[in-house]
Amino acid sequence: MALEITPPSLKSWKMAQNLEYDANKHIGKLASHSYVVKRAKLVEKWIRYFINLNSKSMILEIGGASMPVIDHFTTGKKFSLDPLEDQYKRLFRSRLNTDVLRIRSIGENMPYPDNFFDLIVMLNVLDHCYEPKKVLAESARILKSTGILFLSVNTTSRFWNILKKIKMRIWKNTSEKMHPYIFCRVDVLNMMGSFYKPTNILTTYIDILSGEPPGYHVMPNTFIERIKGSGRFYFIGNVK
């Protein structure tokens, strides 16, 4: 059963954004250029099973942070949107693709016209948003009827979800605090179903888009992880 998704306080979300920025400074420095390129190529390869991309394809990545995949796509007109876009540009300017049109904005209010994009990519973004359902509504507004949304998000079991929320209340400095939301798979499906019809859905215990950079957490397929219900949820779909 899906629960009602209640937005955090604005103060909590801003704190989460600051923690996210600090974490991405670290992750971005750990990840080699070859890893970032490899990850992007794997994302593009998978996406091409569901949509034909060409030089005229309009492609948006939301929340690419320190490892944007859009920079290394081999074709299309490329756009990037992130609330921390300006900070990432200063940190990683030397390795960013100057052909990508970057905008600093929130996903709840994206400055693009209706039916504009052929492809929208959101990798591990939804649980960092202030109002994820509004972000999905906006993405559906700006995506063409023939377009594809490619989304991934980490999920847990309902039991583990409750435990993590208790942990966040007790300990001030936990990694979960940079995630305003902790989703169960059914929560994501419930939100997605308001705007999208699925083409493909997959839950896996590791990031199938290649191994993570050194020092980055990977969820192993172990008994305890199955109890937690931890997994990376992938959704590929079209606007309803």
Report if residue 2 sits inside a domain. no
Mind listing the pLDDT tens digit for each residue in 173-230? 555 566 677 787 888 888 898 999 888 776 655 455 544 443 444 444 555 555 555 6
Greatest mean pLDDT among 48-57, 124-133, 191-200, 220-229 lies in 48-57
Give yes or no for residue 117 having a pLDDT over 90: yes
Report if residue 4 sits inside a domain. no
Mean pLDDT of the chain: 79
Query: From CA 44, how far away is CA 38, in angstroms rounded?
Result: 10
Give yes or no for residue 240 having a pLDDT over 50: yes
Q: Looking at residue 8, what is its pLDDT?
A: 63
57 close to 75: Cβ distance less than 8 angstroms: yes
Give yes or no for residue 143 having a pLDDT over 90: yes
Mind listing the pLDDT tens digit for each residue in 190-202? 889 899 988 877 6
Report if residue 130 sits inside a domain. yes
Q: What is the value of pTM for the model shown?
A: 0.81
Question: How many CB atoms neighbour CB 78 within 10 A?
Answer: 20
Q: Looking at residue 67, what is its pLDDT?
A: 81
Domain encompassing residue 216: 10-239
For the stretch 127-137, what's the b/e string if a residue is b when 16 or more beta carbons lie within 10 angstroms of its beta carbon?
bbbbbbbebbe
Report if residue 5 sits inside a domain. no
192 close to 198: Cβ distance less than 8 angstroms: yes
The total number of structural domains in the chain stands at 1
Report if residue 3 sits inside a domain. no
Q: What is the mean pLDDT of residues 31-50?
A: 85
Selection from 129, 16, 137 nearest residue 63 by Cα? 129
- Chain-centre distance for alpha carbon 162: 22
CATH number at residue 87: 3.40.50.150
Report if residue 75 sits inside a domain. yes
Report if residue 79 sits inside a domain. yes
Report if residue 171 sits inside a domain. yes
Q: Looking at residue 2, what is its pLDDT?
A: 46
Four-point Cα dihedral 159, 162, 167, 169, nearest 10: -170
Query: From CA 186, how far away is CA 198, in angstroms rounded?
Result: 14
